[in-house]
Amino acid sequence: MVPAPTKRRDVAQTGLQPARGGSPNDTRYPLPAIAAGLLGGGAVLGGLAALGLALPIAGVAAAIAGLLLGSSIKYADQWEKAVVLRLGRYKGLRGPGLFFVIPVVDRVGYHIDQRIRTTAFGAESCLTRDTVPVDVDAIAFWVVYDAERAALEVQDYEQAVILAAQTALRDAIGKHDLAELIQSRKELGRGLQEALDRKMHDWGIQVQSVEIRDVVIPQALEEAMSRQAQAERERQARIILGTAETEIASKFVEAAERYSANPVALNLRAMNMLYESIVKRGSLMVVPSGLADSLNLPGILGMAGAAGFRPESAEEETKAVAGREG
């Protein structure tokens, strides 16, 4: 399923600030270069004066010599590579530190930052495979491992990283359901990292990781999903309760079948229930004579007496309770 078109995000919307690492920069004149230019100009001026040339001519020549000498000294920071162009053609990489170029003929086209970079990107109102509109925010960690390719193969590699990441994210959203996006963020980020790394390899860029920061769904849909989840939990609870009742009923049926096949066991069970009722509650029970004989009631009463139960104590307790209530 093809995701719905989204609004285009510029660099400012993604949170990425334009860096000087991908733009032409040939305006660095360190103090050693300035000092060398001044010294060179002074030396030329002194030499021309010694030869007897006029002072104005000597001054102009010294200024030109100092300017050429100063412009031949460049530098690159520790984390950078300088791309040197000679008459517009690629000459090589220089740096970090001081390096020399041929004035007028050579120039530094780019300073490429080779530190790990971060790019925040996202996709708005994209449709998942189950047609749910979502907003997804992510962040990519990448590094320029080949400064030559980054300078020569793509016009603006920083902007290319943003656009490629947004396109890959939209494509990935359209291939996953909403539940997969929410539950499998690491797998989605790993898939994006592999796809972007394959695409940017020819640009001299390595994508180290991609992390999904947030998945946002519409508020109305979020409430509907909450109600659906609650209904699903209630359904599961009822299923569990019904299963338990079914098991209990089957056990009762099994017990009834066993008691019907064994009257002695049924009598013993009845005697046990009657005994427990008399001992624990101390209540008065009227039992028909026929049932008393069938249940061996004298034997039950004998066991109750052995356990310390006395009818008069139960009667006294009953009267005491009645007196308190009165």
Distance CA 189, CA 181 (A): 10
Ranking 3-7, 52-56, 57-61, 290-294 by mean pLDDT, the lowest is 3-7
Distance CA 58, CA 77 (A): 36
Q: Give me the pLDDT at residue 204, please.
A: 92
CATH number of the 115-219 domain: 3.30.479.30
Asked if residue 8 has pLDDT above 50, the reply is: no
Where is pLDDT greater, at 311 or 112? 112
Question: Residue 281 — pLDDT band, cuts 50, 70, 90?
Answer: low
CB 170 within 8 A of CB 140: no
φ/ψ of residue 78, rounded to 5: -60, -35
E strands, the chain, in order: 73-76, 80-86, 89-94, 97-100, 106-113, 117-127, 133-144, 205-216
Q: Name the residue ranges covered by the structural domains of the chain.
A: 23-106, 115-219, 220-261, 262-326
Backbone φ/ψ region at 302: left (φ over 0), alpha (ψ -120 to 50), beta: alpha
Asked if residue 241 has pLDDT above 80, the reply is: yes
Consecutive H or E run containing 243? helix 219-261
Q: What is the pLDDT of residues 30-87, one digit of tens each?
A: 555 454 444 555 554 455 455 554 446 656 666 676 677 777 888 888 898 999 999 9
Asked if residue 179 has pLDDT above 80, the reply is: yes
Complete edge-to-edge strand list for the sheet that includes strand 106-113:
89-94, 80-86, 106-113
Q: What is the pLDDT of residues 136-157, one digit of tens each?
A: 999 999 999 999 999 888 888 9
Q: For the chain, give the mean pLDDT.
A: 73
199: Cβ contacts below 8 Å, ≥ 6 apart: 164, 168
- Tell me which residue of 124, 120, 114, 116 sits closest to 210, measured CA to CA: 120
Ranking 42-46, 160-164, 186-190, 224-228 by mean pLDDT, the lowest is 42-46
